[in-house]
């Protein structure tokens, strides 16, 4: 059966363009068009689409409020269509944190080479979304929740040393998952935390700001030459690879994409393998593809601990499944327990 899609956009022209483009895909069927968020909620109830494409900026009820209402009713699979502006990036990141599966950036024109690439990406993400799991809207948990989970056997006394890193890698479904993990980490975490989320330039600064507001740890977007510190979270800049030097300094890389993504988790992990830190915990979370497997294998040979998110709590069990199938995972952990496991592994400082 084709994937049944509801298209939501306040522009008549853009609705028609998206419908025409998707209508050419043999496995996608556009079953409805909505002009704003209120109409989207009503049509979603009536049509029960497999996937909804949702414009960010709309009258009466904007994309963010429409998303909240939709997800309160049932776990709709939603792909946001965002403008590439600061405001658009902030709203899009908020939507991803709430449970939207993914997003694309709206082209400046409906047709042309730029638009063709965007609409091709939209079709690909609709297919991924149709197969994804949608989790309930995130409810903030107190950072002290890690104390309710017993330490992993053998982890006692191994954390807290200089050169300890936790690397969180994610793709599809990652922002919502990160919103559950990063705020659960204590301010005294004895490690520097690196976040590698597959995301284009212009959106990771908003992601870092959103994570910073939600938890106890300071969070910032990576800057070239910055020194990593314990008890701090650094988010890889969109559209650039993040490397770590032996001195714990960040290097941003404008080289080609790796496995079709940039930033790539593999690039960061392989740079850490060369930097030879004292301890590394690699956490591979929800996402499509195999990014992170190669780097995790090299680091595991050096003694790193590899953690994979479990299938039941992953929006897309691709990246973590690759880790598990290759026999690299030391632990396979449900998302609600992830912050506790990380804290148990690396320990806390003063």
The domains of the chain, with CATH numbers, are: 3-130 (3.40.50.2300), 143-346 (3.40.50.180)
Q: What is the mean pLDDT of residues 1-24?
A: 94
Catalytic entry in 291, 310, 314, 322: 291
Q: Which of 343, 266, 322, 347 is nearest to 299 (CA)?
A: 266
**Residue 328 DSSP symbol:** -
Residue 28's Cβ-count burial label (10 Å; 0-12, 13-18, 19+) is buried
Question: How confident is the prediction for the chain on average, in pLDDT?
Answer: 89
Identify the helix (H) or strand (E) that includes residue 97.
helix 86-98
Whether the CB-CB separation of 177 and 98 falls below 8 Å is answered with no
Q: What is the pLDDT of residue 111?
A: 66
Q: How many angstroms separate the Cα of 51 from the Cα of each of 127, 134, 247?
A: 9, 11, 46
Q: What is the pLDDT of residue 324?
A: 98
What are the tens digits of pLDDT across the range 37-55?
Answer: 999 999 999 999 999 999 9
Q: Are strands 233-235 and 219-221 parallel, antiparallel or unpaired?
A: parallel
Q: What is the mean pLDDT of residues 174-198?
A: 96
What are the tens digits of pLDDT across the range 191-237?
Answer: 999 999 999 998 999 999 999 999 999 999 999 999 999 999 999 99
Q: Is 291 a catalytic residue?
A: yes
Look at 136 and 122; give whichever has higher pLDDT.
122
Instruction: Determine how many CB atoms are found less than 10 A away from the CB of residue 111.
Output: 12
Alpha-carbon span 261 to 289, nearest angstrom? 10
The tokens 């592994």 sit on which residue? 345
Catalytic entry in 55, 102, 132, 171: 171
What are the tens digits of pLDDT across the range 125-169?
Answer: 999 999 999 876 544 444 434 344 444 443 443 334 347 999 999
Whole-prediction pTM: 0.90
SS3 294: helix
Q: Is 36 a catalytic residue?
A: no
Q: What is the pLDDT of residue 109?
A: 64
Q: Which two tokens stand for residue 75?
A: 């776990």
Catalytic entry in 55, 82, 198, 310: 198
């Amino acid at each position: 059966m084709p994937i049944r899609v509801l298209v939501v956009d306040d522009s008549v022209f853009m609705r028609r363009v998206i419908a025409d483009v998707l209508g050419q895909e043999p496995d996608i069927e556009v079953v409805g068009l909505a002009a704003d968020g209120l109409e989207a909620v009503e049509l979603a109830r009536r049509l029960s689409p497999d996937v909804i494409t949702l414009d960010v900026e709309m009258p009466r009820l904007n994309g963010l409020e429409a998303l909240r209402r939709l997800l309160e009713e049932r776990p709709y699979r939603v792909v946001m269509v965002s403008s590439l502006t600061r405001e658009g990036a902030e709203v899009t990141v908020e939507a991803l944190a709430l449970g939207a599966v993914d997003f694309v950036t709206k082209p400046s024109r409906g047709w042309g080479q730029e638009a063709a690439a965007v609409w091709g990406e939209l079709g690909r993400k609709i297919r991924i979304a149709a197969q994804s799991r949608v989790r309930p809207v995130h409810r903030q948990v107190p950072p002290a929740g890690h104390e309710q989970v017993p330490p992993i056997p053998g982890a006692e006394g191994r954390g807290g040393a200089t050169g300890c890193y936790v690397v969180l890698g994610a793709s599809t479904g990652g922002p919502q998952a990160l919103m559950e993990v990063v705020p659960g980490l204590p301010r005294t975490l004895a490690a520097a935390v690196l976040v590698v989320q597959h995301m284009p330039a212009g959106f990771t600064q908003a992601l870092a700001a959103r994570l910073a507001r939600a938890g106890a740890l300071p969070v910032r977007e990576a800057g070239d030459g910055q020194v990593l510190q314990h008890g701090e979270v650094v988010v890889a800049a969109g559209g650039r690879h993040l490397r770590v030097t032996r001195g714990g300094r960040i290097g941003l890389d404008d080289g080609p994409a790796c496995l079709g993504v940039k930033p790539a988790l593999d690039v960061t992990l392989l740079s850490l393998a060369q930097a030879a830190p004292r301890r590394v915990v690699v956490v591979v979370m929800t996402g499509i593809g195999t990014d992170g497997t190669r780097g995790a294998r090299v680091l595991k040979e050096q003694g790193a601990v590899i953690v994979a998110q479990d299938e039941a709590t992953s929006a897309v069990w691709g990246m973590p499944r690759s880790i598990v199938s290759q026999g690299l995972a030391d632990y396979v952990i449900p998302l609600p327990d992830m912050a506790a496991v990380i804290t148990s592994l690396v320990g806390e400082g003063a």
